[in-house]
Structure 1
Amino acid sequence: MTDTQLARQECAAVVLGGPTTVVDLGGLRIVADPTFDDAGPRGYLTKTAGPVVAEGGLGPVDLVLVSHDVHLDNLDERGRAFALAAPALLTGPVTAGRLGPPAVGLAPWATHALPRPDGGGELTVLAVPAVHGPEDAERDSDGNVICEVTGFVLSGQDLPTVYVSGDNASIRTVAEIARRAPRIDVAVLFAGAARVPARFAGRPLTLDSRRAAAAAAVLDAAIVVPAHYDGWAHFSEGRADLEQAFEEAGLSSTLRSVEHGTWVPLSA
């Protein structure tokens, strides 16, 4: 972790490590799934690397998106404090109930609008579903695998539409998003094929590399920013696996496989 200060960008995204992604869009700075704790054991999980930029290097943040709060690799202690100090925090309804204010819970397909400092009107945030495990796994009383997880689609006039997947392993869910959401220009896909032996016989809890490539194809996204594929011991596939899968699928031109901390312009 460094003392790097992230200068505001006009329209770009950067992955800091793990799931933590900063999106500068429409004059807003948006942070998805903030995780800022140092490396080390975290219960039954082990964090192997911290983010490349600490929370103090992000400057003023306008919106935090939390896919879910019950797993420390998506929202850790420092990330939780960061999220709760933000002027706006969007997540799912069950997660919002646990986090408390200022969290606003959005059910799947609900929207929330924020004014854009760039004068372009509003940024619309659409909550979309995610399945945190195998499609055929047992569901809880709310219909979720493991827990409630929320993805997000960001859109606005004259802006690229950006999908942030959260922990999702379901191509069927991606296909539903492709049908119902605005056309996706940029997909921030949480990948890594996370596996925990005690869960579902070790089957992936998030997209593996081939499914990430399949998701990119289903979405027809011009730009794919991979996230959440390293920094924790339970990831079974990394950056090289993603690059190979996208190469085999003929989609290498869409994949922005860069070092953490490197800005990716959100235009084809």
Structure 2
Amino acid sequence: MSARAETVTATYLGTATVLLRVGDLTVLTDPALDPAPAHHPGARPLHRTVGPALTAAELPPVDLILLSHDQHADNLDPTGREVLGRAGAVLTTPAAAERLGGRAQGLAPWESRTVTVGATTLTVTATPARHGPEGTEHVTGPVTGFVVAYGGGTLYVSGDTVRHDALTEIGARFRIDTAFLHLGDAHFPSTGDRAFSMSAAEGAALARTLGARTVIPLHFDSWDHLAEDPARITEAFAAPDLAGRLRWLRPGVPETL
């Protein structure tokens, strides 16, 4: 494999959307790219307050989209759907792939696909995720995380999930170099104290379970339902056993991992 495949850059666009360049391959996660303010009606209306750091027109051609799920606008909005249609391939849940059609492929937990562009090959493995308390799956729908293995390293993208026992196996199966964790402690007025994404404390606990060397927070800003103060993330990762692991990405700025 080309040495270029070992160079990874990440550009944080906002919420759960990250543009990754892994060697010759360009990857986009959960494309939510509508300008703000944006209102998305539904059983649980979503309100975007801050737009993405890059517009859809400013994106390079995308070889692969990793889509945790297709049912919520903070992970896939109308502009993101347009980008989805232009991508070389889309990996997501089987249910989302059936709805989306086209180049979308569904992966069950622990199922893998390889994607090759130029001299770079990625192996993408779907990982367990649950987008809310146990028993709410019929409301939230299926969701997936991803492990991305490339020449020289392994990335983990959690997708929208709460912390639960099935996540423990990820650290047992893979040596995670960088974990992109969806945080924000998502809550809605209609669901009371039930959370639909990890809090800062839960993200820190998962980082310990994973053994991740670097943790990059995602899904903590730009929407009304992501109400936890981001300062809590810094506090949670200030524990001595997590010192030096937390890394914030500056919106719109490519950074080498």
Q: TM-score, normalised by structure 2?
A: 0.91
Partner of 1:30: 27
Once residues 190 and 169 of structure 2 are traced to their aligned partners in structure 1, the CA distance between those partners, rounded to angstroms, is 29
Once residues 74 and 249 of structure 2 are traced to their aligned partners in structure 1, the CA distance between those partners, rounded to angstroms, is 21
For residue 161 of structure 1, give the secondary structure of its aligned residue in structure 2: strand
> 1:69-218 to 2 correspondence within 5 Å?
69-117=70-118, 119-120=119-120, 122-134=121-133, 136-140=134-138, 146-156=140-150, 158-180=151-173, 182-199=174-191, 201-218=192-209
Q: Give the deviation of 1:139 after TM superposition.
A: 4.0
String of CA shifts for 1:52-87, please: whole Å, max 9, x gaps.
Answer: 111122211110111101111110000011012111
String of CA shifts for 1:6-59, please: whole Å, max 9, x gaps.
Answer: xxx931212110110111113211000001111222211111111011112221
* Structure 2: gaps of 5 or more residues: 1-5
Once residues 51 and 238 of structure 2 are traced to their aligned partners in structure 1, the CA distance between those partners, rounded to angstroms, is 29
Answer yes or no: is the 8 Å Cα contact 1:127–1:150 preserved in 2. Answer: yes
Partner of 2:3: none
Distance 1:87 1:184, change over 3 A: same
For residue 132 of structure 1, give the secondary structure of its aligned residue in structure 2: coil
Once residues 171 and 262 of structure 1 are traced to their aligned partners in structure 2, the CA distance between those partners, rounded to angstroms, is 32
Once residues 23 and 216 of structure 1 are traced to their aligned partners in structure 2, the CA distance between those partners, rounded to angstroms, is 21
Answer yes or no: is the 8 Å Cα contact 2:11–2:249 preserved in 1. Answer: no
Distance 1:10 1:147, change over 3 A: same
Partner of 2:211: 220
Percent identical residues? 40
Select 1:232's aligned residue among 200, 223, 248: 223
String of CA shifts for 1:132-167, please: whole Å, max 9, x gaps.
Answer: 012x33443xxxx621101111002x3210001100
Distance 1:15 1:98, change over 3 A: same
Superposition CA RMSD, Å: 1.7
Alignment of 1:257 with 2:248, yes or no, is: yes
String of CA shifts for 1:150-196, please: whole Å, max 9, x gaps.
Answer: 1111002x32100011001124232121123x211110001000111
One-letter code of the match for 2:161?
A: N
Deviates more, 1:253-262 or 1:209-218: 253-262
Answer yes or no: is the 8 Å Cα contact 1:26–1:159 preserved in 2. Answer: no
One-letter code of the match for 2:15?
A: G
Matched pairs, number: 248
Answer yes or no: is the 8 Å Cα contact 2:62–2:86 preserved in 1. Answer: no
Partner of 1:41: 39
Q: Give the deviation of 1:249 after TM superposition.
A: 5.6
Q: TM-score, normalised by structure 1?
A: 0.87
Partner of 1:6: none
Once residues 107 and 215 of structure 1 are traced to their aligned partners in structure 2, the CA distance between those partners, rounded to angstroms, is 21
Answer yes or no: is the 8 Å Cα contact 2:11–2:252 preserved in 1. Answer: yes
Answer yes or no: is the 8 Å Cα contact 1:33–1:65 preserved in 2. Answer: yes
Q: Give the deviation of 1:258 after TM superposition.
A: 3.4
Distance 1:232 1:102, change over 3 A: same
Once residues 32 and 150 of structure 1 are traced to their aligned partners in structure 2, the CA distance between those partners, rounded to angstroms, is 12
Answer yes or no: is the 8 Å Cα contact 2:160–2:197 preserved in 1. Answer: yes
Answer yes or no: is the 8 Å Cα contact 1:90–1:103 preserved in 2. Answer: yes
Deviates more, 1:201-210 or 1:89-98: 201-210
Partner of 2:63: 62
